[in-house]
Structure 1
Amino acid sequence: MSLQKPCVLGLIPARGGSERLPRKNVRLLGGQPLLQYSIEDAKQSKYIDRCLVSTDDNMIAEIAKECGAEVPFLRPKNISGGGVSDTPVAAHAVEWLEKNEGYQPDIIVFLRPTTPFRKDDLIDRCINMVIKTGCDSVRSIRPVAHWHPYWMLTIAEDGRVEELIPGKTVDIYYQSQLLPPVYKHDGYCDVIRRHNLPKTYDAKTTLEGFYGKDRRAVINDDAYFVNIDTEEEFKAAEMIIEKQKTAI
């Protein structure tokens, strides 16, 4: 990456074929399309130069443009299926920009439209860590609350229950205060470097290498955790919106 101010691309993936919650990315939440929340978050960042939506759907493309995002292309159908990882989505977007516009981002900020409740400073905290440390990626994480891996079990073929992590059982860690802190990726913000992306990719390309070797994280424990993928999760998001309105 150059010693000058890095080029930072905000990338929002919003395919049209949502299966469990059809058209979720443009469904109205609090009076605006769901993806608009992520577009607005990207535009508030002091680092992000461009905000681009990657979609295979014409209607989503038009709505994204109305919300202030760029949609310079439609994503190919072969990398728009439900089982496609983030790697080909990001690699295609960057490849298109480099070939067609000569725009070469140093950093890509992956913002999923299904996480509309980011705190104002989260994105820039993640980007700043990438810039300051020189690491390959930064992801937002949050503490694991009730489902700690030391308390998790598996069931063997003979029906016996076994601890998920040998030697780490509720027999020893019988109080939550005894458990070491662990975290999970929450999907609110992923920041990667351009060099993490492969030169070749297809619909089966996995996330291997996507986050590089030096991986870091920003703890995001002060925001509502909702990742909208079902009707129940959408209703939960609506309840949060109403709660926020009454709190004003």
Structure 2
Amino acid sequence: MVETPEILAIIPARGGSKSIPMKNLASLAGQPLIAFSVQVAQQSKLISRTIVSTDSEEIREVSRGLGAEVPFLRPSELAQDDTKDFPVFLHALEWLKTYEGYLPDFVVHLRPTTPLRRAEKIDEAIQLLVDNPSADSVRAVTFPLQNPFKMWTEEAHFMKPLVDLNIPEPYNQPRQNLPRVLWQTGYVDVIARSTLELKHSMTGDYILPFIMEEQNIIDIDQPLSLKIAEFLLKEEVY
């Protein structure tokens, strides 16, 4: 186990957004949205370094003003609507290794679209992975209000169960009879660098759940969600 791990927080924040123009700089309680992720990383007792990966000069300047590092601009081909997280994170790690010789032990994924977090929760998730070296990653999850065993797909005008695990008519079963399910929240992910570099994955094969009871975890994906987040922030119910 690493005695004093080097922990890098990466905040991926591209300039493009269809739902809210320049969403990562949208105003929330008088601050740019990305500020909340930068601030919680700065409040963490375990995060060693915080960088923002962006293709936008404007986001770069705002992030630097908030105290985050932006040592490079992300290539435009890694900032498209359908760009996945893995190549973005691998690009950041390869750049830091090539130009700085920097090799973190663990990487913390802080999505700017999930602004309402507590630093102590981030540190708990980090510590969970540090304490379990056989795990590849930690992912924040909660118990969902809806159960996928009661969900459907549609095929040839008829419905088919979304999940089929040889449970007789799961959609007619009481919730208590169904397997416990977990919903990933986007609150925080913690990944071993070896998982990214050797397994070429954001999660790997051995994923520890960081179970959160909180239900007020919000993802900013439309103007209404900004208003909801502002209310939760004002009431401190997150």
Give the TM-score taking structure 1 as reference length: 0.88
Q: What is residue 202 of structure 1 aligned with on the other side?
A: none
Structure 1 segments of 4+ aligned residues over 6 angstroms from their partners: none
Q: What is residue 77 of structure 1 aligned with on the other side?
A: 76
Q: What is residue 222 of structure 1 aligned with on the other side?
A: 214
Unpaired runs of 5+ residues, structure 2, are none
1:105-144 alignment to 2 at 5 Å? Answer: 105-134=104-133, 135-144=135-144
RMSD (Å) for aligned C-alpha atoms = 1.9
Separation in structure 2 between the aligned mates of residue 124 and residue 221 of structure 1, nearest angstrom: 16
1:242 to partner: Cα distance: 3.2
Count of residue pairs brought into register by the alignment: 233
Separation in structure 1 between the aligned mates of residue 123 and residue 213 of structure 2, nearest angstrom: 16
Amino acid at match of 1:169: P
SS of residue paired to 2:90: helix
Q: Contact 1:144–1:181 at 8 Å: present in 2 too?
A: no
Cα deviation digits, residues 187-239 of structure 1 (max 9, x gap)? 1101111112248xxxxxxx963211211110122252210011121222122
Separation in structure 2 between the aligned mates of residue 189 and residue 65 of structure 1, nearest angstrom: 22
Q: Contact 1:38–1:113 at 8 Å: present in 2 too?
A: yes
Separation in structure 2 between the aligned mates of residue 197 and residue 225 of structure 1, nearest angstrom: 26
1:149-188 alignment to 2 at 5 Å? Answer: 149-157=148-156, 159-166=157-164, 167-171=168-172, 173=173, 175-188=174-187
1:59-78 alignment to 2 at 5 Å? Answer: 59-78=58-77
Unpaired runs of 5+ residues, structure 1, are 200-206
Separation in structure 2 between the aligned mates of residue 32 and residue 223 of structure 1, nearest angstrom: 24
- Establish whether residue 13 from structure 1 lines up as the match of residue 5 from structure 2: no
- Percent of residue pairs identical: 38
Aligned pair in 2 of structure 1 residues 104, 208: CA closer, same or farther (>3 Å)? closer
Give the TM-score taking structure 2 as reference length: 0.91
